[in-house]
Amino acid sequence: MNKKELNTSRRNFMKTGLTGMAGLTMLPVITSGKNDPTPQPKKKKSPAVYRTLGKTGLKLPIVSMGVMNADNPRLVEAALDSGIIHLDTAYVYQRGRNEEMIGNVIKNRPRDSYVIGTKIYEPRDRKTGLFPKDAKSNSFIEKFETSLKRLGIEQVEILYLHNISRKESLLFEPYLAAMQKLKDQGKIRFIGVSTHVNEPEVIEAATDSKQYDVILTAYNFKQPHLQKIKKAIARAARAGLGVVAMKTQAGGYWDQERQHPINMRAALKWVLNDENVHTTIPGFTTFDQMNLDLSVMQDLTLTEQEKIDLKLGQQISQAGLYCAQCGKCTSQCPHHLEIPTMMRSFMYAYGYKNLGQARETLLSSGIHRLPCHDCSTCAVNCTMGFDIQKRMLNIFRIKDIPEEFLV
């Protein structure tokens, strides 16, 4: 796209607002849930494109399923029937119901027809991201044994140390030893780490450590530091690590009303055009979204319009739900509030409509009373241009919703 075309597109974009942006893929409002009336699609496999997950040797379609936001077993069934092999979940998702749902779906399927990745999150210092020095491996192993029971299987392919933001945490001996022990016992096949904060440091450290087989990282066209992630991923892939990408569609929407979806097909293609990414785990929650995600495998070439959409999307500030988790806000706030966690909660609530996960994430921020009411203006200048005060006040309300309404 030349400069003139870009300027014209930008003018049109701004004139018509987000609604008029040509090429936006208008998806129906998400209606996930057991009562989703959407008919199950015909059981027809899409032509799949496979890549090998590094030295694990697992050959996976480049589109897998992030199950976190899905609570409809028919959707997971449909994903597997459509050729998806890899399901990604975690001990904490939906307080265990996510793993249980997957367990019910896979129980009658041959064990070699699917690949399971799950994750264990252990408490750490919210500010430093470090585990307590006296933390032991017992609770890590107990949680994993519970995951196995929920899933109804004796082994998962990938176990991730969940949500790591520091090199020191990645190398934390009790959890590394626990994962190695589980591997020796045959309860897991591969050791992984997941990261969506400070990703380059974590990926580099995983590569250098030679103790990890797979990395699961946030990676999308909206990240301000995407070149650093790209470089770290390339090095990891060269060293033989499997690379799985998440947050590929950058929160899914430009607006909290979800009237204006990001061009999700373009966003997913953008990630997959990096061949160092072996598979992706978009978190689709409807059959239409699933079909859209699968359709990228027909042709990964970005159309001219898709390139324009992504280019403009990169330039727009104060839009979108995706927080880059850069952490630059925390020190600007006089109360040092855990803003990145709150913004992740905001994305889960408005982008994914996963209110349970949003509430849990918010509670993990450790903010019990919000001082934002007392600030005449917010001192935070956010990298993504978010109105932090407005979003903080908005999302904090979810704290008071009784838990049983969100399950």
Q: Which of 66, 340, 351, 356 binds ligand SF4 (CB under 6 A)?
A: 340
Cα(81)–Cα(65) distance, integer angstroms: 12
Closer to ligand SF4 at the Cβ: 159 or 319? 319
For 348, list phi and psi in degrees, rounded to 5.
-65, -40
Residue span 281-320 as binding mask against ligand SF4, x where in contact by CB under 6 A, dash where not: ----------------------------------------
Q: Give me 259's structure tokens.
A: 């009237």
Judged by beta carbon, residue 75 or residue 333, the one nearer ligand SF4 is 333
Task: Give the residue with the Cβ less far from ligand SF4, 48 or 393.
Answer: 393
C-alpha 93/C-alpha 252 separation (Å) is 19
**Closer residue to ligand SF4 in complex, CB, 379/407:** 379
Given 176, 188, 367, 372, the residue binding ligand SF4 (CB under 6 A): 372
Rg of the chain on CA atoms, in Å: 20
Q: Of the listed pieces 12-20, 150-158, 333-341, 357-365, which binds ligand SF4 according to CB under 6 A?
A: 333-341
Mention every residue, 6+ apart, whose C-beta is less than 8 A from residue 324: 222, 223, 224, 225, 383, 384
Distance of CA 232 to the CA centre of its chain: 18
Contact status: 177 vs ligand SF4 (CB under 6 A): no
Which of residues 321, 343, 362, 367 is near ligand SF4 by CB under 6 A? 343
Q: What backbone phi and psi angles, to 5 degrees, belong to 225?
A: -105, 30
Render the burial of 376-401: b for 16+ CB within 10 Å, e for the rest.
eebebebbbebebbebbeebbebeee
Alpha carbons 384 and 386: distance in angstroms, whole number:
6
> In this structure, what token pair is assigned to residue 289?
């979204």
Among 58, 60, 202, 324, binds ligand SF4 (CB under 6 A): 324
What type of residue is 205?
Answer: A
Instruction: Determine, following the binding rule CB under 6 A, whether residue 389 of this chain makes contact with ligand SF4.
Output: yes
Does 371 engage in binding with ligand SF4 (CB under 6 A)?
yes
Measure Cα distances from 299 to 44, 46, 272 in Å. 18, 12, 11
Instruction: Give the three-state DSSP class for 97.
Output: helix
Task: Kindly tell me which residue out of 14, 177, 379, 407 binds ligand SF4, with binding defined by CB under 6 A.
Answer: 379
DSSP secondary structure string, 242-265?
EEEEESTTTTSBSSTT--SB--HH
Residue placing its CB nearer to ligand SF4 in the complex, 146 or 198: 198
Q: How far is the CB of 215 from ligand SF4 (least distance, A)?
A: 21
CA distance 289 to 321: 18
How many residues of this chain bind ligand SF4 (CB under 6 A)? Answer: 27
Residue window 178-217: x/- pattern of binding to ligand SF4, with contact defined by CB under 6 A: ----------------------------------------
Identity at 211, one-letter amino acid code? Q
Of the candidate residues 386, 395, 396, 398, the single one contacting ligand SF4 (CB under 6 A): 386
Q: Would you count residue 337 as binding ligand SF4 (CB under 6 A)?
A: yes
**Is residue 384 at the binding interface for ligand SF4, with CB under 6 A as the rule?**
yes
Q: Residues in the site for ligand SF4, rule: CB under 6 A?
A: 323-329, 333-335, 337, 339-340, 343, 371-372, 375, 378-380, 382-384, 386, 388-389, 392
